[in-house]
Amino acid sequence: MFYREAGDFKTTYREDSQTFPIKFDRLRFYAVLAVAYGVIPLFINDYWANAVAVPFLIYAIAAIGLNVLVGYAGQVSLGTGGFMAVGAYACYKLMTAFPEVSIFVHVLLAGGVTAVVGVLFGLPSLRIKGFYLAVATLAAQFFLVWLFNKVPWFYNYSASGQITAPDRTVFGVFVTGAQTSAMAKYMFCLVMLTIVAVLARNLTRGMVGRKWMAIRDMDIAAEIIGVNPLTAKMTAFMVSSFFIGIAGALFFSVYLGAAEVGEAFGIQKSFLILFMVIIGGLGSIFGSFAGAAFLVLLPVLLKNLLVGALNWPTDLAAHIELMIVGALIVVFLIAEPHGLAQLWRVAKEKLRLWPFPH
Amino acid sequence: MKTTFAALVAASITLAAPAMADLSVPNLSYRTGPYAANGIPYADGFNDYFTLLNERDGGIGGEKVQVPECETAYNTEKGVECYEATKGQAALAYNPLSTGITYQLIPKVTADHHVLYTPGYGRTSAANGKVFEWVFNYPANYWDGASVAIKYLLSQNGDDLKGKKIALVYHNSAYGKEPIRTLEELSKKHGFELNTIPVDHPGQEQKSQWLQIRRDKPDYVIMYGWGVMNQVAIQEAVNIKFPMENFIGIWWSGSENDVGPAGEGANGYKSISFHGVGNNYPVYADLQKYVFDAGKSAGSADELGTVLYSRGMYAAMIISEAIREAQGMAGHSAVTPEEVRDGFEHLNLTEARLTELGLPGFAQPIAATCADHGGPGSAIMLQWDAMAKTWGPVSDWITADKDVIDPLIAEDSAAFAAESGTAERCN
């Protein structure tokens, strides 16, 4: 009824190729942005920021990053945790070496460092693909974690190997360290996520993204029509690692405040983010959000429901929570193998016809 | 999708807000994951002691104590969530039983004004109260533990460890790395050769590490392990026929759960402890009467008197004594977190008071001051008797080598103060 193209006339190419061609979609998008920027910061408290909003925003950045690589360019990666660690340690070294520089710059630079490392570990993708590439990136994961454990320079020779984020500001407002307000944390991550999402969306809509998808769909055919596999694969690794590096830097500096590499950036992290991408939907920016929301918010929700509302013992609740999340993943993937994004797409198609399906 | 989630989360959180208690001591425990075998008895001991106080004495100073429990699974992200979820209830003290979570909470509790009490774990240099206002780690810390182990070995070898080889098998995390610097200093001082062997989380696979030990043939092995890593290490040591009496675990590597799986092979394994074990203390009669027989215990009765149960109880006992001290100082019973911090800082736990609590000789006396948040730093050596399935003391209280440790603590806390811009107190 209200969700349709009819009457929504486009008179320029620019209008025709915009991200949200349907007016209702566009309005909905602005409404989400308005709520995220205008309403939530007014009400957010420490619990909501630290347990719900900030992890969701950061995991969404990481999921977008991995989705660029796995979903759009078709290169399987199990090195996400390791690349996040690169972002985190780069950010830590930059924060401690140049305390006067804004943390905003450091986070972006940390992403840049990760991009370089990502390209380095992406080189094998020119020769191998599929499961073999997954194993090569798995090696990156273990190597990077080992490196940050082994070389004391990365953690400034602290006795325990922990890295701790010092207090740093953006425009005079604390965004890392203990004095940070819930709103500052939330806003900083939100701005980063917005930048990343807009960038990723436009890259994937443009020529670069089309090259990635051509490589994903059939690399030989792509090569024949003139896509250079070297640049396509390397840019995919670069962009993906850049985003993942930003996520890692935020994860350490804004969210956790202190981290040790094996615990915070272990192989479980790689799998967690890969699951987010798969459950959310490969090759979809919205899917990255949905997958991150599913795997970050659902456990917190279940915990509060079972322990807080039903007063179950904490261990029983923790076990049941794992089982429920696991079962839901199975159910979702059986019902819709293309992830939550596909469910959303189907819902939109239905809405377009509703209420007159013929 | 997102909005539905948000609405549901919102609904459940409003439901979740528990009744405001006068005294709240959250228990950030872990009963799941690879560290559950150690986390469960500790959490039960912690809960049961407060239940005993509530049932027998009507709480502390007439105020009931609530112990909201939150599952962390030894995971730092869940630790943050648990801290944020519980801090709103004017939480008096936190005891997360995880060095990783402790590192994360140190800046947070300092900003939010809650006490972080980390007996025998956490950041060692928090013993320096001049820098760490809100953190307490008495009676002993990781570096004390390393020094006690070396002192014990010195006493076994006629005060001479020259030319001996000592291997450190450690959990490759903040926790396991802590003693390395101390042991390096001690190796310079006493002339032994130190070899460090890391084991990655969770430590279920240690074949290569123990192969290395079999090849190097160290005279002694010291272990800083936790969770499933302990059980595997002790089993592997049995497999390579390493002499058990030369194998010493820190206090986190010496519970019944750790030596049990290796059976009789583990006989003679040694471990340090900063409190007594076994259920020969009068307090256990009260625990049996008011908690277990009344069906109010958190765990099963066979945990009573085990090492980790006793340690959880020890932590609860210290926190309750600090609250009592705070009530005395403040002159009212509904104390605030700030007042409890003063209570921790002026805690004077004497032998006489321990006897009054039904724990004569259970632990060393503590007299905290503004600068000293680290306590006496002494511990006893226990040895496992696999036939009787009991731990028995094989040494008297050994005090750590403060000449080595104090400069290290000063150095590390000064580094923290410089990094975080903290000014020294107590001057």
Model confidence at A1, pLDDT cuts 50, 70, 90, reads: low
Which residue, B281, B249, B289, B20, is CA-closest to B145?
B249
Please list the alpha-helical segments (H only) found in B113-243: 142-156, 174-190, 207-216, 228-239
Q: Cβ distance B194 to B183 under 8 Å?
A: yes
Same domain, B263 and B316: no
CATH classification of the domain holding B316: 3.40.50.2300
Q: Among residues of chain B, what percentage have pLDDT more than 70?
A: 95
Those of residues 44-73 in B touching chain A at CB distance below 8 A are 69-71, 73
Work out the percent of chain B whose per-residue pLDDT is above 90: 65
Cβ of residue B265 closer than 8 Å to a chain A Cβ: no
Angle among Cα B108, B111, B112 to the nearest 5 degrees reads 80
Query: Is B423 within the bounds of a domain?
Result: no
The answer to whether residue B417 sits within a structural domain is: no
Per-residue confidence (pLDDT) for residue B186, from 0 to 100: 93
Q: Give residue-wise pLDDT tens across range A228-237.
A: 999 999 999 9
Q: How many CB pairs under 8 A join A and B?
A: 145
**Residue B8: pLDDT above 60?**
no
Of the ranges A50-54, A106-110, A181-185, the best mean pLDDT one: A106-110
pTM: 0.91
pLDDT of residue A310: 83
Tokens encoding B377: 């730093």
Contact residues for B375 (Cβ-Cβ < 8 A; gap 6+): B127, B137, B138, B139, B140, B364, B366, B368
- Shared domain check, B397 and B249: yes
Q: What sign does the CA torsion over A93, A94, A98, A101 have?
A: negative
- Contacting residues of A for B420, CB less than 8 Å apart: 164, 166-167, 177
Comparing CA positions, the residue from B99, B39, B67 lying closest to residue B308 is B39
On whether both B302 and B370 belong to a single domain, the answer is yes
Strand B193-199 to B165-171 pairing: parallel
pLDDT band at residue B19 under the 50/70/90 scheme: very low
Distance from CA of A47 to the nearest CA of B (A): 5
* Candidates A268, A314, A328, A346, partner chain B, best to mutate (most B CBs within 10 A): A314
Q: Do A317 and B111 touch (CB under 8 A)?
A: no
- Residue B294 token pair: 């009344």
- Residue B10 banded pLDDT, cuts 50, 70, 90: low
Specify the pairing of strand A168-170 against strand A173-176: antiparallel
Q: Cβ separation of A340 and B1 shorter than 8 Å?
A: yes
Domain assignment of residue B427, yes or no:
no
- Return the closest-CA partner of residue B180 out of B172, B168, B162: B168
Mean pLDDT of B59-68: 90
Shared-domain flag, residues B240 and B388: yes
Contact B31 A315 (CB under 8 A): yes
Compute φ and ψ for B322, nearest 5 degrees.
Answer: -65, -40
Report CB contact under 8 Å: B412, A256.
Answer: no
Residue B117 has pLDDT above 70, yes or no: yes
State whether B399 and B266 are in the same domain: yes
pLDDT at res. B14: 45
Per CB-CB distance under 8 Å, the chain B contacts of A51 are 80-81, 84-85
What average pLDDT does chain B have?
Answer: 89
Q: How far apart are alpha carbons B412 and B406 in whole angstroms?
A: 10
Identify any residues that bridge with B8 across adjacent strands, giving them in sequence order: none
Same domain, B286 and B180: no
Is the domain of B383 the same as that of B244? yes
Residue B251 and residue B135 share a domain: no
Q: Which of residues 223-252 of B touch A (CB under 8 A)?
A: none
Sort out which chain B residues have CB atoms less than 8 A from A257's CB and list them.
104, 107-108
Judge if B329 and B384 occupy the same domain: no
Residues B371 and B400 in one domain: no
Pull the structure tokens for residue B167: 């291997």
Model confidence pLDDT, tens digit, residues A131-170: 899 999 999 999 999 999 989 899 888 878 888 888 888 8
Helices and strands: H and E segment counts in chain A: 17, 4
CB contact under 8 A, B77 and A164: no
pLDDT band per the 50, 70, 90 thresholds, residue B2: very low
Q: How many domains does chain B have?
A: 2
Q: Are strands B193-199 and B23-24 parallel, antiparallel or unpaired?
A: unpaired
Contact yes or no for A194/A184 (Cβ under 8 A) = no
The residue-averaged pLDDT of B143-151 equals 93
Q: What range does the domain containing B333 cover?
A: 21-140+278-375
Helix count (H) and strand count (E) of chain B? 14, 17
Q: Report the amino acid identity of residue A45.
A: N
Does residue B206 fall inside a structural domain? yes
Q: Do A315 and B9 touch (CB under 8 A)?
A: no
Residues B126-147 have a mean pLDDT of 92
Interchain pair A51, B15: CB under 8 A: no
Confidence of residue A335 (pLDDT cuts 50, 70, 90): confident
Q: What is the pLDDT of residue B4?
A: 53
Domain membership flag for residue B15: no
Contact list, B178 vs chain A (CB under 8 Å)? 159-160
Across the interface, do A159 and B124 touch by the CB < 8 Å criterion? yes
Q: Which of helix, strand or coil describes residue A294? A: helix
Confidence at residue B13, expressed as pLDDT on a 0 to 100 scale:
47
- Closest by Cα among B50, B52, B1, B43 to B21: B50
Among B73, B107, B177, select the one facing A318 at the smallest CB separation: B73
Residue with the bigger pLDDT between B340 and A352: it is B340
- State pLDDT tens for residues B366-422: 999 999 999 888 999 999 999 999 999 999 999 999 899 999 999 988 888 887 778
Q: What per-residue confidence (pLDDT) applies to A358?
A: 67
CB–CB of A178 and B111 under 8 A? yes
Contact A51 B18 (CB under 8 A): no
Q: Are B198 and B213 contained in the same domain?
A: yes
The whole-number average pLDDT for the span B156-168 is 92
pLDDT at residue A2, as a whole number? 67
Supply the pLDDT for residue B6: 53
Of B73, B412, B421, the CB nearest to A159: B412
Grouping H, G, I as helix, E, B as strand and the rest as coil, residue B374 is coil
**pLDDT band of B321, cuts 50, 70, 90:** very high
pLDDT of res. A240: 96
Distance CA B253, CA B171 (A): 11
Looking at CA atoms only, how far is residue A231 from chain B in angstroms?
36
Q: What average pLDDT does the segment B161-167 reach? A: 92
Cβ of B173 within 8 Å of Cβ of A262? The answer is yes
Assess whether B209 and B290 both reside in one domain: no
Q: What's residue B16's pLDDT?
A: 44
* Tokens coding A195: 């930048």
